Structure 1
Amino acid sequence: MEVRINGKPETVADKSTVGSVLAARELDPALVSVEHNGNILERSQLDSAVLSEGDELEILFFMGGGQA
């Protein structure tokens, strides 16, 4: 099925969860924040949030930085 991840169409397996998408991308859930159809998910929800055709995910990466 097709979903949008960070604004780009991508194909994922039927009944994929947000957690399985992160795992397939080798992303550590502790290092990202995920918005699913406009709602920010708690980390405890990642493996139970099942994707449907046309869903939208925004995966936000934590970045360090500042002045040296």
Structure 2
Amino acid sequence: MKILVNGEEKITSSMSVYDFLLTIECDPRPIAVELNRAILAKNDYRTTFLLEGDQLEIVWFVGGG
């Protein structure tokens, strides 16, 4: 199935948001995920499954000073 991730088309199988993050080697702890223009709670990453045409925006938190 096709989804958009940060504006790029990706082809993936049906899986949870959490599993998708792991497949792209993304640590789920320091990020925020928006799914179809709605912020997804971290508690929902494992129980929310991606569907054809979904749009994900992944934002990384970066510390600095």
Q: Which residue does the alignment assign to 2:42?
A: 43
Q: List alignment gaps of at least 5 residues for structure 2.
A: none
Give 1:9's aligned residue. Answer: 9
Provide the residue aligned with 2:18 in structure 1: 19
User: 5+ residue gaps in structure 1?
Assistant: none
Return the TM-score normalized by structure 1. 0.88
**How far 1:27 moved relative to its partner?**
1.4
Structure 1 position 45, deviation (Å): 0.2
- Counterpart CA distance in 2 for 1:50 and 1:65 is 33
Partner of 1:34: 33
Compute the TM-score of the two structures, normalised by the length of structure 2: 0.92
- What's the offset of the Cα at 1:64? 1.4
Percent of aligned pairs with the same amino acid: 37
